Amino acid sequence: MRFPVIAIFFLFSLISLLGCDDDSAVIPVEQVHIEGKNYLTAKIGNQSWTTQNYEGPGGVPYDDANSKPEYGKYYSKVELAAINVPEGWRIPTMEDYKTLAEFYGISAPSKASEGDAIKVLISTDHWNNAKGSNASGFNAFPGGYMFGEANPIDGDIAEFWTTEGYSFSIQEAGENLSSLRVALYESNSSPDYRFNVRFVKTN
């Protein structure tokens, strides 16, 4: 027996509400249509974030076969400026990413003691050593980044553009690389850098 879509959505919403006792348990709450594709989003504090890496026009996939589509595409700074973002949404600023981190008590750049807290921001798989919980719903995959024509080296870094030309980076760190750190980089120094892209809006 097939249920109407609206009934399924209502049931999912009810289950989500009953299962969430605090703001740290975040579930994707809506979709946003950007350049021909719908992206899931999650409400985190007073922000909503896309929970998937952008893969619209332009950009370069992980490899020629696009063998890891979950990583989305990698964009240059020039391509970043050409993305058409829906009304209300924007390419994040560095302050947007700092607000995201601070919601979970994480500094940007992070302190050594905050390594385990960062696990709420990363995916539960694909990382070489760190074990993410993705409790935030942000779901950062370790897609690495591109420089020049080289394919990215994945598994230990998730890195995203900001409008100012800096990048927000989550990296494996600590003993046995099982913890994490947040770093910020000035990435305007070379046009050869390509990073993943997310979008945010203020609620």
pLDDT tens digits, 105-135: 999 999 999 999 999 999 999 999 999 999 9
pLDDT (0 to 100) of residue 190: 87
Which residues are CB-contacts of 120 (< 8 A; sequence separation ≥ 6)? 24, 104, 132, 133, 134, 135, 136, 138
Rounded to an integer, the average pLDDT of 21-40 is: 75
Instruction: Look at residue 10 and tell me if it is in a domain.
Output: no
Tokens of 51: 């929970």
Instruction: Look at residue 17 and tell me if it is in a domain.
Output: no
Structural domain containing residue 162: 24-202
Q: Could you read off the pLDDT of 75-107 as tens digits, one per residue?
A: 999 999 999 999 999 999 999 999 999 999 999
What CA–CA distances, in Å, run from 173 to 98, 119, 151, 169, 178? 19, 12, 22, 12, 6
**Which segments of the chain are extended strands (E)?**
28-34, 37-44, 47-50, 146-147, 157-161, 166-173, 179-186, 193-194, 200-202
pLDDT (0 to 100) of residue 32: 97
Rounded to an integer, the average pLDDT of 58-67 is: 96
Torsions phi, psi for 202 (to 5 deg):
-95, 130
pLDDT (0 to 100) of residue 108: 96
Instruction: Look at residue 12 and tell me if it is in a domain.
Output: no
Q: Could you read off the pLDDT of 140-149 as tens digits, one per residue?
A: 999 999 999 8
Reduced to 3 states, what is the DSSP secondary structure of residue 77? Answer: helix
Nearest to 46, CA basis, from 93, 84, 102, 106: 102
Instruction: Look at residue 85 and tell me if it is in a domain.
Output: yes
Instruction: Look at residue 167 and tell me if it is in a domain.
Output: yes
Task: Give the count of domains, the chain.
Answer: 1
Instruction: Look at residue 14 and tell me if it is in a domain.
Output: no
Instruction: Look at residue 180 and tell me if it is in a domain.
Output: yes
Residue 5 pLDDT > 80: no
As a whole number of angstroms, the distance between CA 50 and CA 200 comes to: 7
Mean pLDDT rounded to a whole number for the chain? 88
